[in-house]
């Protein structure tokens, strides 16, 4: 049996409105999360991701009312992240309609939270999000990748001002640790590619041994095909090409099915 590859729209929510930027900067409004969530559910999205992108930097709780409103309009798996820093925060989100929780900053600051959530809710509910940025230098113990621009490693960033705050952590090593601690899935976003529509950076995706959602850079159906055929991603996440009507989920799935990629039509 071959598992179907998943197409996942992402709602980056800033104080109740969906926004989308380029490389985490210059965000512009993309619409209402409830309306967009309902649209994507009806169009055939396999899952939906909701990220309250200002909850962590503002050190506040996630907007549970918005989460609940979106959940009430969809009938597909729903992952919610942003501002989740404890078991209680995760329980609140799950009780308001989420099927999975996504943690990023809190996981970096307190890795044991991954295990706590997995023990209580099950690994299938725990998604660890990794925002990674290329850094062009060699360092002992880092995962160095040869690229056209030269040798680089991937540094984990967490929220902390425009473009995130570098942690000095190697992204591939952090991905492996998150898996060991009980994460059921990883959401790996390339900060260099985010919003550029130049295609995914699959260098990290290829090095992880648990299900991975590739994120950052989707601009054409060909990029999804590359994520599944070259990068071996289990799912591909996209935002702007869906939000602004450049492609529909159906068009992307049709393109993939015609090229032999198993998808749910």
Average confidence (pLDDT) over 45-69: 86
> Per the domain annotation, does 60 fall within a domain?
yes
Instruction: Write out the H or E segment, with its range, that includes residue 21.
Output: strand 17-22
Dihedral over Cα of 225, 231, 234, 237: its sign: negative
> Per the domain annotation, does 111 fall within a domain?
yes
DSSP structural state of residue 259: T
Q: What percent of the chain has pLDDT over 90?
A: 70
Q: Which domain holds residue 124?
A: 6-258
> Per the domain annotation, does 265 fall within a domain?
no
Under DSSP, is residue 8 helix (H, G, I), strand (E, B) or coil?
strand
> Per the domain annotation, does 264 fall within a domain?
no
Contact at 8 Å (CB) between 116 and 127? no
User: Which tens digits make up the pLDDT trace of 139-192?
Assistant: 777 888 888 778 899 999 997 555 678 999 999 999 999 999 999 999 999 999
Contact at 8 Å (CB) between 136 and 149? yes
> Per the domain annotation, does 1 fall within a domain?
no
Number of domains in the chain: 1
Q: What string of DSSP letters covers 44-68?
A: T-S-EEEEETTTTTTT----HHHHH
The CATH number covering residue 70 comes to: 3.20.20.70
Q: What is the pLDDT of residue 215?
A: 96
Under DSSP, is residue 171 helix (H, G, I), strand (E, B) or coil?
helix
> Per the domain annotation, does 230 fall within a domain?
yes
User: Which tens digits make up the pLDDT trace of 101-147?
Assistant: 999 999 999 999 999 999 999 999 999 999 999 998 777 778 888 88
Q: Which of 125, 177, 140 is nearest to 156 (CA)?
A: 177
Q: What is the maximum span of the chain, computed from C-alpha positions, in angstroms?
A: 49
> Per the domain annotation, does 168 fall within a domain?
yes
Q: Which residues are catalytic?
A: 12, 131
């Amino acid at each position: 049996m071959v598992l179907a590859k998943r197409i996942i729209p992402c709602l980056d929510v800033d104080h109740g409105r969906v926004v989308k930027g380029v490389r985490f900067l210059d965000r512009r409004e993309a619409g209402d999360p409830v309306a967009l969530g309902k649209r994507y559910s009806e169009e055939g999205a396999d899952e939906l991701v909701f990220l309250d992108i200002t909850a962590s930097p503002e050190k506040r709780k996630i907007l549970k009312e918005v989460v609940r409103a979106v959940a009430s309009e969809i009938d597909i798996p729903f992952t919610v992240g942003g501002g989740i820093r404890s078991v209680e925060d995760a329980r609140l989100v799950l009780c308001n309609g989420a099927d999975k929780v996504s943690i990023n900053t809190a996981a970096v600051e307190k890795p044991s939270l991954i295990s706590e959530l997995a023990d209580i809710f099950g690994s299938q509910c725990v998604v660890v999000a990794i925002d990674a940025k290329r850094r062009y230098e060699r360092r002992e113990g880092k995962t160095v990748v040869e690229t056209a621009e030269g040798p680089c490693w991937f540094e984990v960033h967490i929220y902390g001002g425009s473009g995130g705050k570098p942690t000095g952590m190697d992204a591939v090593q952090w991905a492996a640790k998150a898996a060991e601690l009980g994460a059921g899935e990883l959401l790996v976003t390339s900060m260099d590619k985010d919003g550029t529509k130049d295609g995914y950076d699959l260098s990290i995706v290829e090095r992880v041994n648990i299900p991975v959602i590739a994120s950052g850079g989707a601009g054409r159906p060909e990029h999804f095909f590359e994520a599944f055929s070259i990068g071996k991603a289990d799912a591909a996440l996209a935002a702007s090409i869906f939000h602004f009507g450049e492609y529909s989920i159906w068009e992307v799935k049709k393109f993939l099915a015609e090229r032999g990629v198993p998808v749910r039509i």
